[in-house]
């Protein structure tokens, strides 16, 4: 049987109204998995993503939840379980970005970054764990700046949060290995989504510095995420998907 035949499985992808999360929902749906689309503010885009997923013949639900909030993260998991009875794949993707020099970064900026990425992943994973089926996989979305030096200034809070997700991944993988649940991370390089279109200046110039001379697409990252979610013999690993950076 192909690893990629996901008929009857359930994938919960946080922050999947748009960007990499939305592409990941579609990559799961194309392979037959039922999907949960989570959004925080982009309601309309979340419903569009769910509708596109359904066009592949799967079931899709949409749940509004700020993953950094325990009650809302719990509701996200509870509604998933109510709809599908359990979870096979959890992708902790929800994220924010802010380009700001460290000297200007106050405790509120710092906390918001850690709250969304690190507390968010912890909240959803902690609540979901009793419902993740044996053979399932968790994928945390880190970043190339969580594992390698930043390409420029202004990313200290972001890269600290993304590096924390690497520790979360490798330690949780050890803790869950004998329960038949794998935990991995994908660390994307620059990927063409609203996050960088709004957040990073001079993208064309920046793209020239990438060895393959172009910015990645959300679909290319989504394929790597599904691979890490379903591969039965990979756990505790971080896959960098960055065009060679
Ligand atoms: N794009 C890149 O170059 C790049 C590179 C490396 C890593 N990443 C990581 O990849 C992930 C996806 O990024 P992206 O580029 O696809 O960004 P994006 O286009 O800005 O999308 C971010 C998504 O996260 C959701 N989100 C933000 N805060 C949330 C919260 N508190 N609770 C629930 N959902 C929340 C947003 O939902 P709403 O719109 O509904 O609020 C949206 O669906 C992030 O973790 C990001 O750090 C991106």
Assess whether the C-beta atom of 39 lies below 6 angstroms from ligand 1. Answer: yes
Catalytic sites, residue numbers: 158
For residue 20 and ligand 1, the question of a CB distance below 6 A is answered with yes
Phi, psi of 43 (to 5 degrees): -60, -50
**What is the reported pLDDT for 222?**
98
Residue 3 confidence (pLDDT): 84
In angstroms, the CA 241 to CA 175 distance is 26
Domain residue extents for the chain: 10-241
Measured from the CB, is residue 93 less than 6 Å from ligand 1?
yes
pLDDT in tens, the chain (245 residues): 688 999 999 999 999 999 999 999 999 999 999 999 999 999 999 999 999 999 999 999 999 999 999 999 999 999 999 999 999 999 999 999 999 999 999 999 999 999 999 999 999 999 999 999 999 999 999 999 999 999 999 999 999 999 999 999 999 999 999 999 999 999 999 999 999 999 999 999 999 999 999 999 999 999 999 999 999 999 999 999 999 99
Question: Domain 10-241 carries which CATH code?
Answer: 3.40.50.720
Instruction: From the CA of 68, give the closest atom in ligand 1.
Output: 31
Structure token pair of residue 119: 């507390």
Q: How many residues does the chain have?
A: 245
Which pLDDT belongs to residue 2? 84
CA pair distance 173, 235, nearest whole angstrom: 6
DSSP-based three-state secondary structure for 218: helix
**pTM of the predicted structure, to 2 decimals:** 0.98
| Helix H or strand E encompassing 67 | none
The rounded distance, in Å, linking the Cα atoms of 48 and 17 is 8
Tokens, residue 110: 């710092």
Q: How far does residue 99's CA lie from ligand 1's centre (Å)?
A: 15
Q: What is the DSSP letter of 216?
A: B
Per-position DSSP letters for 104-117, written without gaps between them: G--HHHHHHHHIII
**What is the distance in A from the centroid of ligand 1 to the CA of 234?**
25
């Amino acid at each position: 049987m192909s690893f990629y035949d996901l008929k009857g499985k359930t994938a919960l992808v946080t922050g999947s109204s748009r960007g990499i999360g939305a592409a990941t929902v579609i990559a799961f749906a194309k392979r037959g998995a039922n999907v949960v689309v989570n959004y925080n503010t982009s309601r309309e885009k979340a419903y569009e993503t769910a509708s596109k997923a359904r066009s592949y013949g799967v079931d899709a639900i949409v749940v509004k939840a700020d993953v950094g909030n325990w009650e809302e993260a719990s509701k996200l998991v509870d509604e998933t379980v109510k709809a599908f009875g359990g979870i096979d794949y959890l992708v902790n993707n929800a994220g924010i970005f802010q380009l700001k020099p460290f000297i200007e970064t106050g405790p509120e900026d710092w906390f918001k970054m850690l709250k969304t990425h690190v507390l968010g992943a912890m909240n959803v994973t902690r609540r979901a764990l009793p419902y993740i089926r044996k053979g399932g996989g968790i994928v945390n979305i880190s970043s190339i700046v969580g594992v390698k030096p930043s390409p420029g200034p202004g990313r200290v809070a972001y890269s600290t949060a993304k590096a924390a997700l690497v520790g979360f991944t490798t330690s949780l993988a050890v803790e869950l290995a004998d329960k038949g649940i794998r935990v991995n991370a994908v660390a994307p390089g620059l990927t063409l989504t609203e996050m960088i279109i709004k957040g990073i200046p001079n993208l064309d110039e920046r793209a020239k510095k990438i060895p393959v001379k172009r910015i990645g697409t959300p679909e290319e990252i989504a394929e790597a995420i599904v691979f890490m979610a379903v591969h039965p013999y990979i756990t505790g690993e971080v896959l960098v998907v960055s065009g060679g950076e």
